[in-house]
Amino acid sequence: MSQTDVAAAFAALEAHRVEIGHRRIVDLFAEDHTRFDRYQVRLDDLLFDYSKHRINDATLAHLMTLARAADLEGKRDDLFSGAKINTTEDRAVLHMALRNMSGRGYFVDDQPVMPDILAERRKVNDFASAIREGAIVGATGSYFTDVVNIGIGGSDLGPAMAAKALSTFGVSGIRVHFVSNVDGADLTDTLAMLDPAQTLFIISSKTFTTQETMTNAHSARRFVAAALGEEAVSDHFAAVSTRLDLVEQFGIKPDRVFGFWDWVGGRYSIWSSIGLALTIAIGPKHFEDFLRGAYEVDQHFEQTPLHENIPVLMGLLGVWYRNVWGFGSHAVIPYDQRLSRFPAYLQQLDMESNGKSVMRDGSPVMRATAPVIWGEPGTNGQHAFFQMLHQGTDVIPVDFLVAARPTVADEYHHTLLVSNCLAQSEALMRGRSREEVETLLRAQGMSEARIAELAPHKVFEGNRPSSTFLYRQLTPNMLGRLVALYEHKVFVQSAIWNINAFDQWGVELGKELCGRLVPIVNDARVSTAQLDDSTAGLIQHRRALLAG
């Protein structure tokens, strides 16, 4: 890879944008009636439609040139080979091995990792089945009716998102809850609905030292001990961690500890033992279907030519808008209430991965990196922020996700849902001109003076880009595919920007400062003299509020 070649590819894209910047997407469709057929990719029943973008064949050619200048294919090979591409932590990145469904071997430091992965997967599946079937019970002999996963970040967002998305595949009689916030309200509100005798807690923390997780874990432990006695703790807790010593001190049995490896990043860990709560919720068979969906995308990403490769196209379109057009955010709108946590999951996946300001060699990045990722389910968003999407001053590319048929929902409701999704993508593209607005208002019998006054407010600029993911149904397999597509899209963009997508040093400083502040906030006798004026002033004001 040569940064000179990358710069030249970006310069060509900038010049190309000037050439086509005046072209409207609707005009591109009018000129080419095969556009939809040519600007889509299918992966079995999943269709990725990228025809509603500000692109033509020349745009795609320039983007492919950029991808090759950045050595995307070589970096992809490094990813799958087990090379230590997480250079700042000297680690491989092999979450793909966790969902490997073939006989392929994966290696770290020349050591095979698949035997350990398969053994841990069997251990998780056996434990989950025993909980679901009532073979493992609580201290009083009661079946578990509730499972509480206590984690944060990747130990919470992924399993929580997937458990909600796949709730219709769950077993009756077991509810799964997720607690992450150190705000006591999160745990308190959850515990209020639980019977300690029928509750299993899973503590998900690789180091078993994460402040938020362990604070919640110890509170949950007191909840069980107060109700059932100290000796009951071991029957009501399991852990996903690598710190066997700390887990033992907590009181968790060794056979209820599940591990994973340092080459599994937190935001990529849902495929590992971190998925224990999800496996209990939906069962080992459905969890395997989830893994298989991601594995199928891994094969597609690794083996498909760039111009037909869905994650590659997703990533390059994002670079086109972020760096060439200067669009600073990206919306993800699932038309599926059960995917309500999917945008929040993608926020961590994308912004924690690519929110970087230095390249892999430590030099400053040459261009803007991660856009702001945000979204909510349709149709609720249509009555909230869609006003900005349609008529705001910022152009915000959108991903729409929708299933052809519902998962346990009324068919007519789903017809309305799909119709709304398609209407929004069409409206963003088409818009409504001043002339069209005036014609409509005249047809309503409005006076010319009133038309002149009102028309500017009813004009929609249109020409706003979107992609649509249309698939048969939201199943475990399809959710696995969707998550893996976005994982690899993030990697594609990191390759173009030449950044390390697999560390997260930006979260460390806040943790360090919090550790320093806790004793000061906790004890009004401790001086605030060493703090900045704002922080000191806020602490003093809190002390006054508590004293009053």
Q: Write down the catalytic residue from 22, 33, 383, 457.
A: 383
Secondary structure letter of residue 177 according to DSSP: E
Across the beta sheet with 372-374, the strand order is: 40-43, 46-49, 466-471, 398-403, 329-334, 372-374
Torsion of the alpha carbons at 392, 394, 395 and 401, rounded to the nearest 10 = -70
How many whole angstroms separate alpha carbon 495 and alpha carbon 76?
9
End-to-end C-alpha distance for the chain, whole angstroms: 63
Contacts of 370 by beta carbon, 8 Å cutoff, 6+ apart? 350, 351, 353, 354, 355, 356, 493
The tokens of 479 are what? 């959710």
The tokens of 422 are what? 């398609």
How many whole angstroms separate alpha carbon 256 and alpha carbon 345?
27
Contacts of 484 by beta carbon, 8 Å cutoff, 6+ apart? 99, 293, 294, 295, 297, 298, 301
302 noted as active-site residue:
no
The amino acid at residue 342 is: F
The tokens of 302 are what? 């690794």
How many whole angstroms separate alpha carbon 92 and alpha carbon 350?
19
* DSSP assignment string, 227-266: HH-GGGGGGSEEEE-S-HHHHHHHT--GGGEE---TTS-G
How many whole angstroms separate alpha carbon 131 and alpha carbon 295?
27
52 noted as active-site residue:
no
Q: Write down the catalytic residue from 285, 413, 511, 541.
A: 511
How many whole angstroms separate alpha carbon 163 and alpha carbon 169?
9
Element (H, E) at 148: strand 146-150
Strand partners, 479: none
236 noted as active-site residue:
no
* Beta strand ranges found along 436-506 (DSSP E): 466-471
- Nearest partner of 304 among 296, 315, 292, judged by Cα: 296
* Beta strand ranges found along 279-409 (DSSP E): 329-334, 372-374, 398-403
Q: Write down the catalytic residue from 352, 376, 438, 487.
A: 352
- Sequence length of the chain is 548
**Which residues have a catalytic role annotated?**
352, 383, 511
